Amino acid sequence: MYCRHTRRLKLTELLYWATDDYKPTTFSRPLLKLSTYKGTEPFFESLRHVTLEIQSFSAHVACRSIFAYDLQSISLAIGKPGDESSTSRMVDALFDLIASHSVKLESLKLEYGDFTATDAFRASWEKRLANLVGRLDRTAPKLKRIDFSPLQSGNVIVPALATMKGLQDIALGWGQSDTLHKYSLPQDSFGSLRAIKLNSEWCPQLSPLFLLSNISSTAMERISVEASLDVAEVVRTNRLVASQWPKTLRQYHLGWFPFGTDTVNPTGIIPSHPSVLSSLLDEILQCHQLRILSLPIEYPWELTDEHITALVRALPELRSLELGSKNRSTVAEYPPRVTVKGLTSIAVGLSYLESLTMDINVTDPSLDETALEAAANPRIRKFSTYNVGRGRPEVVRDRIRKLFPSLNQVHVEELRGISGGVSGTARNDEDVDNAW
């Protein structure tokens, strides 16, 4: 009775200890029993949304009965149940079921989660995805969102997606490789697209700029990119986005890592690097309808109160702003140049802002209660930074509470010689950043 009214199903197979790869696991036994149901009425009559993370051979088999329903959304993370040959057969069977029952499908997420897979298998995985897209273009008229990872090169799947009818939202992630794009796209590629999410941070030779520049849609609302880029490429990306979609863009995230630099640093301290020029931000200020702006970087921002004032004037609709460094830096090298005066501009000019990440100097001994009161912003429900200047933790905590009185939890890190991280959240906070 209960299964007949189930609309959403989420199952995760974390670990299994079967000595035989083909022996049913604790996870798969209930599904296997359900798959043998012989009643005249569908067992999951109301099932519409499925999220599955499966590892074992028996789980792959058991899940086939679930994909025999006409689902609206599917999220499937696949592990390696055996050797790559048997895994390929399992994938083919599941993909065939998805394509055969896709008339109501609106959202599809497929991920292969085995990091030990060979390059040859990842290439075959991408080819299978491309073949599935070709079938879905004919059988899934309502499909709007696709999320695929990891890709080997994108040379097969990207052209297939570029011409797919009605596609509005895509997310693509690449595995670690030295691949380059080796394809061309027609002028009308991605004509109906409204949102794109790209993650190529493990592919230092793969620039997201090529794909973004081939989007013909004039109605892009959300763009999220994680990539390994040099500064010039970042500037070109921001310029392209600002010139193509200044009136429609609502959310923009560009997380980039220094091109050709080893960013793995167990101490969390970056070596001496030039701070990032604030001119990297100038182009994107043309997108006046932005609600979420996220530009986290490895280097400290070279921002001043004047830059913050310009940002406030250009982007009055912001709900979430992230301009902080993702890495700790010594205060002696990079003291924050944004002061409480910049926070005053934010409090006055950004009436919708709820989440803020920014390097701010709140330890200036000349700060008085009047300045803190003028900059106080009770609308902020989430704040974080790695750099607040040099000062005692109790002073930092007290001033953060005064600046953002809605934060009921404020955490201050104390590290010798290094700026301490600060974070705070409001009670019952709904994370406004989690909109991608």
* Tokens standing for residue 241: 């986005």
- pLDDT band, very low/low/confident/very high, at 77 (cuts 50, 70, 90): very high
pLDDT at residue 7 greater than cutoff 60: yes
pLDDT at residue 48 greater than cutoff 90: yes
* Tokens standing for residue 189: 């590629």
Q: What mean pLDDT is predicted for residues 262-271? A: 45
- pLDDT band, very low/low/confident/very high, at 330 (cuts 50, 70, 90): low
Q: What is the CA radius of gyration of the chain?
A: 25
Task: Identify which has the larger pLDDT, 333 or 96.
Answer: 96
Half-sphere exposure of 323 (CA within 13 A, CB side): 24
Mean pLDDT, the chain, as a whole number? 85
In a 10 Å sphere around its CB, with 0-12 CB exposed, 13-18 middle and 19+ buried, how is residue 135 labelled? middle
Residue 92 confidence (pLDDT): 93
Half-sphere exposure of 192 (CA within 13 A, CB side): 12
pLDDT at residue 305 greater than cutoff 80: yes
From CA 418, how far away is CA 335, in angstroms rounded?
11
* Tokens standing for residue 69: 């329903």
pLDDT at residue 281 greater than cutoff 60: yes
Residues contacting 171, CB < 8 A, separation 6+: 109, 146, 147, 148, 149, 196, 197, 198
Residue 33 confidence (pLDDT): 65
Residue 400 confidence (pLDDT): 94
Residue 9 confidence (pLDDT): 87
Residue 436 confidence (pLDDT): 57
pLDDT at residue 238 greater than cutoff 70: yes
**Residue-wise pLDDT tens digits, 399-436:** 999 999 999 989 987 655 455 678 888 866 655 545 55
Nearest to 327 by CA among 268, 278, 383: 268
Q: Residue 4's CB: how many other CB atoms inside 10 A?
A: 12
Q: What mean pLDDT is predicted for residues 6-16? A: 77
Residue 429 confidence (pLDDT): 60
Task: Identify which has the larger pLDDT, 317 or 42.
Answer: 317
From CA 380, how far away is CA 354, in angstroms rounded?
4
Contact 147, 170 (CB under 8 A): yes
From CA 37, how far away is CA 41, in angstroms rounded?
10
Among 31-45, 193-207, 228-242, 406-420, name the one with the lowest average pLDDT: 31-45
Residue 423 confidence (pLDDT): 86
Specify the length of the chain in residues: 436
* Percentage of the residues of the chain whose pLDDT score is greater than 70: 82
Nearest to 361 by CA among 331, 323, 401, 394: 331
Residue 261 confidence (pLDDT): 45
C-beta pairs of 24-28 under 8 Å, 24+ apart in sequence? 24/58, 24/62, 25/56, 25/58, 25/59, 27/54, 27/55, 27/56, 27/59, 28/56, 28/58, 28/59, 28/61, 28/62
Task: Identify which has the larger pLDDT, 265 or 391.
Answer: 391
Q: What mean pLDDT is predicted for residues 126-149? A: 97
**Residue-wise pLDDT tens digits, 88-131:** 888 999 999 999 999 999 999 999 977 667 778 888 999 999 99
Residue 386 confidence (pLDDT): 81
* Percentage of the residues of the chain whose pLDDT score is greater than 90: 49
**Residue-wise pLDDT tens digits, 340-388:** 999 999 999 999 999 999 988 888 888 899 999 999 999 999 999 888 8
Q: Specify the pTM.
A: 0.90
